[in-house]
Chain A
Amino acid sequence: MKIKYFFSILLLWGFACLFVFFTESNVNYTPLQFEIPKGWPAPPNNIFTKNKLTEEGFQLGKKLFYDGRLSKDGEVSCASCHQQFAAFSNYDHDFSHGINNSFTKRNAPALMNLAWMTSFHWDGAINHLEVQPLAPITASNEMGEQLDSVLLKIRKDSSYKRMFKAAFGDTVISSQRMLRALTQFTGNLVSSNSKYDKVKRGEANFTEFEKRGYETFKIYCASCHKEPLFTDNSFRNNGQKLNRLNDIGRAAISNKKEDSLKFKVPSLRNIELSFPYMHDGHLYSLYQVIDFYRNDIDTAQTSLDPSLKRKIILSEKEKKELIWFLSTLTDSTFIKNKRYAPDGK
């Protein structure tokens, strides 16, 4: 009698094991390792601790990034304003086009090395990469859509069902999963293979011109555009005048007067590709940028960064050398990387 009980319990246990085995083995994640390029610091916060990085999650994120259905009219995808050939900035646009012929109020920045950033957008308004997509999706001058409508649309698509299952274990399509998948894509856009990087790794050499440009850079620019990411993630006023949209930058978020006209220091990687420049894209070339730093810094502003109060004196020759150096930050493998392209694996 007792033995009978024993065996039935054993049998139950066996079924339970089989069940667990089958449900587990149905899901075949391919874990991805987030690699920190040689000589770079570790990201300040690991955005992939709760959001486990997998090939399936990355591919799903990529599909979402290139999908116009995230917008109200079906026409505007993330990639409309963030184009790979322009290092995921908006090529040749000071402001970008949103739905219904609207315009953004700021310049679309290049997207790269986001995992090392501590805040997002020019004013740092966004505190986590996972919640960043909520801003463009819902803004009336960007994608103009509502989160629940986006989910309704993508739930109807059987290929999404398949991909959510592959990435997260079942076909549930929730806001968190969608946002996390997008983060797996954007957080993986790492640009670390420019000539500058090769020189640092001992695989290439600067020309004399570039070398002198690098020296100038270290004197005047590197305090804010800090190597190797070419930003120190801080908010600074680099002396531009208040623009026609009265964009006061960080102060609108922090509610602090002293933050007026401060913007997040942008990375200068791929800078050649991401023109026009500054938060409102009003400078069209690197020549204009250097001329701005030489001649046009508005020293009357109280929040101007102390390091820019003294005039930067550069000869025409030094200016050219500096631009040669900045060109070594272009990473052609990044803009050609098939993994980031809509059709490539």
Chain B
Amino acid sequence: MNRKKNITLLYFFVIVQLSVGVIFNSNAQNPSGKLKISLIHTVNSHLLRLNDSVYRNDFNETYKITKLKYYLFNFKLNDIPLYSKEGKYLLVNAEKNENVIEFEKINNGSYSSLSFEVGVDSADNCSGAQTGALDPLNDMFWTWNSGYVFFKLEGTSPYSTGDLNRLEYHLGGYKGEDALITKINLTNIDELGNPASIPVAGKKETEVTIALNLDCFWKDGKVSIKQNPICVSPGKNAKKIAACFSSLFSIKSIINH
């Protein structure tokens, strides 16, 4: 009887030891760096105000913005994929007070670039009904031509020839030539305009603010609102408008608390 008890006790301690070992080990292996990315939206260097502010673009066209929503995914520091508990996709919505995604378990170090992709990766465009950021309830899924709207920009402009002067860009497309998934690679720049690193250190969280600058859509040499007020399906036109994706984003600030 006594011996039996001893054996169970022994067994119990072995298990405790094992689990303690596992916890310690994983602690030792798991990097602890944290990164928080937040997005802000600007027009002509002013913070975007939905619905009421009137803006003017490089074609001298005035416009208002009523809606701005888009998907970002596949965040990386120096090509090392980042992990977030919040899931694979960040659905940014300018209506919200803040648009943030937090990453953890990053190796300490100073990184020279931050990259991500705009859109929804092609497999997730054809895997049926989804949840979370990709739930069709978010109104970012084309019901009549399966696939996600990657980038939704809506507003009005007197220069639009569309119904009710609507300005409407629903940009997306995951198939062949129409594919719009765009990789963005950002480097940090210091006050003097030189490349600077993005530090990730210890338990301190690094906060990177990325600005999306809406003027980029109608910069010189690109398409004016008059020429292109509405685009709501994948194809050549969407590709032309989305060509600005690569110059849309920039790193606004980096704070290491």
Secondary structure class of chain A's binding surface, majority of residues: helix
Binds B, one of A18-26, A123-131, A219-227: A123-131
Known: A125-B145, A255-B235, A255-B236. A147 touches B137 (CB 8 A): yes
Q: Which residue of B lies closest to A119 (CB)?
A: B146
| Chain B positions within 8 Å of A9 at CB level | 12
On whether the beta carbons of A125 and B135 are closer than 8 Å, the reply is no
On whether the beta carbons of B234 and A179 are closer than 8 Å, the reply is no
Q: Which of A118-169 contact B (CB under 8 A)?
A: 125-131, 134-135, 137-139, 147-148, 151
| B107 CB-CB contact with A under 8 Å | no
| B3 CB-CB contact with A under 8 Å | no
On whether the beta carbons of A174 and B234 are closer than 8 Å, the reply is no
Known: A127-B125, A128-B128, A130-B128. A176 touches B135 (CB 8 A): yes
Beyond A6-B12, A127-B126, 15 additional contacts (C-beta under 8 Å) are: A3-B5, A9-B12, A126-B146, A128-B129, A128-B146, A131-B143, A131-B146, A134-B141, A134-B143, A135-B144, A151-B137, A175-B136, A179-B128, A179-B129, A255-B177
On whether the beta carbons of A176 and B147 are closer than 8 Å, the reply is no
| Chain A positions within 8 Å of B130 at CB level | 176
Count of chain B residues near A, Cβ 8 A: 26
Q: Enumerate the 3 nearest inter-chain pairs by beta-carbon distance, A residue then B residue, closest first.
A: A130-B128, A179-B129, A127-B146
Secondary structure class of chain B's binding surface, majority of residues: loop
On whether the beta carbons of A125 and B146 are closer than 8 Å, the reply is yes
| A268 CB-CB contact with B under 8 Å | no
On whether the beta carbons of B12 and A128 are closer than 8 Å, the reply is no
On whether the beta carbons of A51 and B128 are closer than 8 Å, the reply is yes
| A47 CB-CB contact with B under 8 Å | yes
User: Chain B's nearest CB lies how many Å from the CB of A148?
Assistant: 6
Known: A3-B5, A175-B137. A255 touches B178 (CB 8 A): yes
| B131 CB-CB contact with A under 8 Å | yes
On whether the beta carbons of B128 and A255 are closer than 8 Å, the reply is no
User: Chain B's nearest CB lies how many Å from the CB of A332?
Assistant: 32
| Chain A positions within 8 Å of B5 at CB level | 3
For chain A, the bracket of interface size reads 20 to 34
Q: Which residue of B lies closest to A177 (CB)?
A: B129
Provide the bound-state CA to CA distance between A122 and B131, in Å: 27
Residues on A lying within 8 angstroms of B by beta carbon are 2-3, 6, 9, 47, 50-51, 125-131, 134-135, 137-139, 147-148, 151, 174-176, 179-180, 183, 253-255
Residues on B lying within 8 angstroms of A by beta carbon are 5, 8-9, 12, 125-131, 135-137, 141, 143-147, 175, 177-178, 234-236
User: Chain A's nearest CB lies how many Å from the CB of B20?
Assistant: 14
Q: Which residue of A lies closest to B145 (CB)?
A: A125
| Chain A positions within 8 Å of B128 at CB level | 47, 50-51, 128-131, 179-180, 183
On whether the beta carbons of B234 and A255 are closer than 8 Å, the reply is yes
Known: A127-B125, A131-B128. A139 touches B144 (CB 8 A): yes
User: Chain A's nearest CB lies how many Å from the CB of B232?
Assistant: 13
User: Chain B's nearest CB lies how many Å from the CB of A184?
Assistant: 12
On whether the beta carbons of B236 and A130 are closer than 8 Å, the reply is no
Known: A131-B146, A175-B129. A2 touches B136 (CB 8 A): no
On whether the beta carbons of B143 and A135 are closer than 8 Å, the reply is yes
19 contacts between A and B (CB under 8 A): A3-B5, A6-B12, A50-B128, A125-B144, A127-B125, A128-B126, A130-B128, A131-B136, A131-B143, A134-B136, A134-B141, A134-B143, A138-B143, A139-B143, A147-B136, A174-B135, A175-B129, A255-B234, A255-B235
